[in-house]
């Protein structure tokens, strides 16, 4: 099977899925899709080596869905992902592919979400489970997840699961799957441990390797706006008003319905916009493109398929209102600007849970994408006023104002007002429902809490948070398996590398008698206060309490959040420790006068 396939219809997918792909905007399979889909449809195990953003989600999701029996409301496919963000993205993709499959149910399960919610959803029945290893293990142990009907198992980003210390958990899950099932393993790289897992659990796998050769035009300025604190439509209109050198724009969304809805909303706000989607016949499509070329339209809202082949030199901006599913789509989108030797602008809207895709696009395109500061109310007001002054100046330079000057003089005499006051009244009338001064408050943007970055060590966002006390039940009541691999005692693990900077030691009111482990403390601090694990220092576990070293000068907001935090259902009551000094970092450290406590580097846990 070569990578040059013209359409999904050549891959053997059902008519229902082909129809859905057409509606979504998928036209030509990416190389990973072209090679993997036929192999998985044949029922073979497979190893796919491809970077994130090459379209591999569809490569395993589409053939997986062909095996689902909707009448059986039991988990028939399990997809393991390293992070909750990826689990959510994969689940959303599956749901979109199931648009024409009534009754299909996909369920993401991951740490940090209430067990109560997940148990209710599991009891209703799900055909596909997308989960992180730790939470899937917990459900298997509690017997709330049954894999007896499993047909397909997918390991997505296996090398990331290895890097984050989940590979033992993955093997534990693999050992508890039915003997007869199909397994697909996807990994950007193939470390020895991943290779060993593949050899142990996959049967005669077909190995497929895809190289990503995606690149973008250097003449295109690429920026992103963090979706936070303001509705996307309001942010879009601010950007459209203030962007310099704006001539025309193509705005990309994921669905045909969204093209129409957004076009209507922009027209209502005074923009010349039109929708471009697969429902338009060729004559109407050509008419929209011609209007964009001539200047009758300034904005076209399009899906990926509908925008293919558009070559309009005046398109100065491409706006990704909805982030694309893969990097190829992103490159195709922004290729609509910066044409004919001109400079172009590409703006990407990114929600917090989509930050992984942003970083993937940066790696695939080999270009950084800088954050865009959203124009403030003052910026928009100044721009509107400047445009208004320009229009007035143009009219002042024109001839034939004597008639109107006479009317102004009459108004001044009749109302006993100055010409400036009449001019102010006329200016107010001229706003035509679009006030020059923007009202309201500017929202405060919240910084992304990235799960990881290639530029720094892994943070706690990479790991799933252990469920809290009220979600898990008593520790002694948790079911255990005698054959579960024994983990090394934490006292026997090497010490955590000391974070840089001054540290302050705090005491909290939870300890060994509450069943607390180091990872519970790290998880609570990382999730509730937003402090990355690399900034958390030495942690001492005692019977009734614990100590933890945190950066000096911790923001009051973070400290207050920790004071209200509970671990295993117990309020931690964070306060500065008045006991013995913390001493120097590194080396061994005694607790309770005799026990020596060492910690393993967090990224290796």
Q: Sketch the domain layout of the chain as residue ranges.
A: 8-209, 220-375, 379-429, 489-604
CATH of 489-604, one of 3.40.50.10470, 3.40.50.11540, 3.30.70.330, 3.40.710.10: 3.30.70.330
| CA 192/CA 351 separation, integer angstroms | 35
Asked whether residue 494 carries a pLDDT value surpassing 90, the answer given is no
pLDDT of residue 444: 55
Token pair in block for residue 248: 């025309």
For position 207, what pLDDT does the model report?
Answer: 94
DSSP 314: T
* Per-residue CA distances from 186 to 46, 50, 194, 353 (Å): 8, 7, 10, 21
Strand 539-541 relative to strand 546-551, pairing = antiparallel
pLDDT number for residue 561 = 75
Report, as an integer, the average pLDDT of 208-218. 67
Query: Measured between alpha carbons, how far is 431 from 561 in angstroms, rounded to an integer?
Result: 46
11 vs 328, which has greater pLDDT?
11
Give the tokens for residue 246. Answer: 């704006």
Greater pLDDT, 328 or 335:
335
| Helix axes of 56-66 and 15-24: crossing angle, nearest 10 degrees | 150
Contacts 24+ apart (CB under 8 A), 232-238: 232/321, 232/349, 233/262, 233/265, 235/349, 235/374, 236/266, 236/319, 236/321, 236/349, 237/266, 237/269, 237/271, 238/374, 238/375, 238/379, 238/380
- When pLDDT is cut at 50, 70 and 90, the band that residue 453 belongs to is very low
> Which of the residue ranges 130-134, 353-357, 427-431 has the most confident prediction, judged by mean pLDDT?
130-134
pLDDT band at 286 (very low <50, low <70, confident <90, very high): confident
Q: What is d(CA 64, CA 150) in angstroms, rounded to the nearest whole number? A: 11
Q: What's the CATH fold of domain 8-209?
A: Rossmann fold (3.40.50)
Mean pLDDT on 139-163: 92
> Is pLDDT of 219 > 70?
yes
Kindly tell me if the per-residue pLDDT of 455 is higher than 50.
no
pLDDT in tens, 85-130: 788 889 988 998 998 888 999 999 988 778 888 999 999 899 999 9
pLDDT of residue 421: 83
Q: Where are the alpha helices (DSSP H) in 98-179?
A: 115-124, 133-141, 158-163, 167-174
Alpha carbon distance 194, 182 (integer Å): 17
Task: Quickly state the pLDDT bin for 560 (edges 50, 70, 90).
Answer: confident
Please indicate, yes or no, whether the overall pTM of this predicted structure exceeds 0.85: no
Q: Is the pLDDT of residue 522 over 80?
A: yes
Task: Say if residue 466's pLDDT is above 90.
Answer: no
Q: Which two tokens stand for residue 420?
A: 């400036």
- Residue 418's pLDDT band, with cuts at 50, 70 and 90, is confident
Q: Say if residues 206 and 45 touch (Cβ distance below 8 Å).
A: yes
pLDDT above 70: residue 497: no
Tokens of 543: 């019977």
State the pLDDT at residue 53.
Answer: 61
| Token output for 293 | 């070329």
The angle that helices 84-97 and 56-66 make with each other, rounded to 10 degrees, is 50
pLDDT tens per residue across span 195-206: 999 999 999 999
Q: pLDDT confidence of 332, banded at 50, 70, 90?
A: confident
Nearest in space to 602 (alpha carbons), one of 401, 421, 396, 461: 461
Q: Print burial letters for 159-168: b (CB count within 10 Å at least 16), e (below 16).
A: bbbbbbbbbe
Least confident stretch, 45-59, 305-319, 523-537: 523-537
Q: Look up tokens 């958990």; give the residue.
A: 169
CATH superfamily of 220-375: P-loop containing nucleotide triphosphate hydrolases (3.40.50.300)
Of 149-163, 405-419, 551-565, the poorest mean pLDDT is in 551-565
Mean pLDDT of 52-56: 72
253 contacts 278 by C-beta, under 8 angstroms: no
| Confidence tier at 448 by pLDDT (50, 70, 90) | low
CA angle in degrees (0–180, nearest 5) for 417-420-426? 95
SS3 call for 470: helix
Q: What residues does 302 pair with on adjacent strands?
A: 252, 276
Cα–Cα distance for residue pair 75/226, rounded to 1 Å: 35
pLDDT at 371: 92
Residue 591: other Cβ atoms inside 10 A: 14
The DSSP bridge pattern shows strands 370-371 and 299-302 to be: unpaired
String of DSSP letters for 375-393: PPHHHHHHHHHHHHHHHHH
CB 315 within 8 A of CB 250: yes
pLDDT band at 176 (very low <50, low <70, confident <90, very high): very high
Closest listed residue to residue 524, CA positions, set 557, 589, 571: 571
Q: Do 8-209 and 220-375 agree at the fold level?
A: yes
In whole numbers, what is the pLDDT of the chain averaged over residues? Answer: 78
Whether the per-residue pLDDT at 56 is higher than 70: the answer is yes
pLDDT 10s digits, 237-255: 888 888 878 899 999 998 8
Q: Which two tokens stand for residue 174?
A: 């693999």
User: End-to-end CA distance of the chain, in Å?
Assistant: 40
């Amino acid at each position: 099977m070569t990578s040059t396939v013209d359409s999904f219809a050549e891959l053997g997918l059902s008519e229902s899925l082909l129809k859905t792909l057409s509606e979504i905007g998928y036209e030509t399979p990416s190389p990973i899709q072209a090679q993997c889909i036929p192999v998985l449809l044949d029922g073979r195990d497979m190893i796919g080596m491809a970077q994130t953003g090459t379209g591999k989600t569809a490569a395993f999701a589409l053939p997986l869905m062909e095996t689902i029996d909707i009448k059986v409301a039991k988990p028939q496919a399990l997809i393991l992902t390293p992070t909750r963000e990826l689990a959510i993205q994969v689940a959303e993709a599956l749901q979109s592919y199931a648009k024409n499959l009534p009754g299909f149910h996909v369920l993401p399960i991951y740490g940090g979400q209430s067990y109560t919610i997940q148990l209710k959803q599991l009891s209703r029945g799900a055909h596909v489970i997308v989960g992180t290893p730790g939470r899937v293990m917990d459900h298997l142990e509690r017997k709330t997840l049954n894999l007896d009907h499993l047909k397909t198992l997918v390991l997505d980003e296996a090398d990331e699961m290895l890097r984050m210390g989940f590979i033992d958990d993955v093997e534990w899950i693999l050992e508890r799957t039915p003997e007869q099932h199909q397994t697909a393993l996807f990994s950007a790289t193939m470390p020895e441990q991943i290779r060993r897992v593949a050899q142990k659990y996959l049967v005669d796998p077909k190995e497929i390797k895809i190289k990503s050769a995606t690149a973008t035009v250097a003449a295109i300025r690429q920026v992103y706006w963090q979706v936070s604190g303001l509705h996307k439509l309001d942010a879009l209109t601010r950007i459209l008003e203030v962007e310099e050198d704006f001539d025309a724009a193509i705005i990309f969304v994921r669905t045909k319905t969204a093209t129409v809805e957004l076009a209507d909303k922009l027209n209502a706000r005074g923009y010349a916009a039109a929708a471009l989607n697969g429902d338009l016949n060729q004559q109407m499509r050509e008419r929209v493109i011609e209007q964009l070329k001539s200047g009758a339209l300034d904005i076209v809202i399009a899906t990926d398929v509908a925008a293919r082949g558009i070559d309009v030199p005046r398109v100065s901006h491409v706006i990704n209102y909805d982030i694309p599913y893969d990097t190829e789509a992103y490159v195709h989108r922004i290729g609509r600007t910066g044409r004919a030797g001109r400079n172009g602008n590409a703006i990407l809207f990114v929600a917090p849970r989509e930050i992984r895709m942003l970083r993937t696009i940066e790696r695939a395109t080999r270009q950084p994408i800088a954050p865009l500061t959203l124009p403030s109310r003052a910026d928009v007001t100044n721009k509107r006023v400047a445009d208004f002054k320009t229009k007035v100046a143009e009219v002042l330079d024109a001839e034939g104002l004597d008639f109107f000057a006479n009317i102004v003089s009459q108004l001044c005499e009749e109302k006993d007002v100055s010409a400036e006051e009449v001019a102010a009244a006329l200016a107010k009338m001229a706003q035509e429902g679009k006030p020059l001064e923007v009202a309201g408050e500017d929202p405060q943007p919240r910084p992304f809490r990235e799960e990881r970055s290639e530029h720094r060590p892994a943070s706690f966002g990479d790991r799933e948070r252990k469920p809290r006390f009220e979600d898990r039940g008593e520790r002694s009541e948790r079911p255990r398996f005698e054959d579960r691999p024994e983990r090394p005692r934490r006292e026997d693990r090497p010490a955590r590398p000391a974070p840089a900077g001054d540290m302050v030691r705090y005491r909290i009111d939870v300890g060994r008698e509450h069943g607390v482990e180091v990872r519970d403390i790290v998880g609570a601090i990382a999730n509730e206060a937003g402090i990355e694990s690399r900034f958390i220092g030495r942690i001492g576990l005692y019977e009734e309490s614990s100590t933890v070293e945190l950066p000096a000068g911790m923001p009051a907001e973070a400290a207050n959040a920790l004071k209200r935090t509970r671990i295993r259902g117990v309020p931690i009551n964070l306060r500065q420790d008045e006991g013995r000094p913390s001493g120097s970092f590194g080396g061994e450290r005694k607790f309770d006068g005799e026990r020596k406590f060492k910690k393993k580097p967090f990224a290796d846990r």
